[in-house]
Amino acid sequence: EELTHEREKAKDLLFDFNNTRPSLREKRESMIRRLFGRIGKNCWIESPFNCDYGSNIFAGDNFYANTNCCILDCAEISFGNNVWIGPNVGFYTPEHAFDSKERTAGYERALPITIGDNVWICGGVTIIGGVTIGSDSIIGAGSVVVKDIPAGVLALGNPAKVIRAMNEKDRKGLLFDKG
């Protein structure tokens, strides 16, 4: 009953947020500050945005989430400083029972997600509960992250795999050498 009340409270606030003009920056930021467990300086979230509770979301400074970000925060989700999230990205902490009888009975658990500092999560990425992504990493577009990703790497695919460590070319924005 308490969880249902908390979810409904979040959904009402999200409805107002998603229907507030982007030009009303201070009002939108105030709503996110009321929704999230903690958020640092310089935060911007594009509409539409969705989450379960909001109170389990913790973000550092310079947090950006593009359109259609979905954060199912049944467990804690922590974002470091300078995290960029592309469009259509999902963070899913809930895990339903594999056994159909347990699933039908409503059994569910949730596992936390931790994102380090200076991480870029490109568009269309899915990250499941129990995953940690290390600082200074990039998750390529369309990836499905089902296990931990170390710091300082480019990872992509389904399931996401480390492609390589970040290198000097990355400072120039060349993720792939096309020459």
Q: What is the pLDDT of residues 57-110, one digit of tens each?
A: 999 999 999 999 999 999 999 999 999 999 999 999 999 888 899 889 988 899
CA distance 83 to 115: 8
Band of pLDDT at residue 177, cut at 50, 70 and 90: low
Options 25, 33, 38, 96, the catalytic residue: 96
**CA torsion 31→37→41→43, rounded to 10°?**
-50
pLDDT at 173: 66
What's the whole-number average pLDDT of the chain?
93
Element (H, E) at 2: helix 2-18
Q: What angle do CA 88, 149, 65 make, to 5 degrees?
A: 25
pLDDT-based confidence at residue 153 (cuts at 50, 70, 90)? very high
Task: Report how far residue 152's alpha carbon sits from residue 133's, in angstroms, rounded to the nearest whole number.
Answer: 10
Active-site residue, 96 included: yes
Q: Do the beta carbons of residue 71 and residue 51 sit within 8 Å?
A: yes
pLDDT value for 97:
84
More confident residue, 59 or 176: 59
Tell me the per-residue pLDDT of 72-85, one tens digit each, with 9 for 90 and over: 999 999 999 999 99
Reported pTM: 0.91
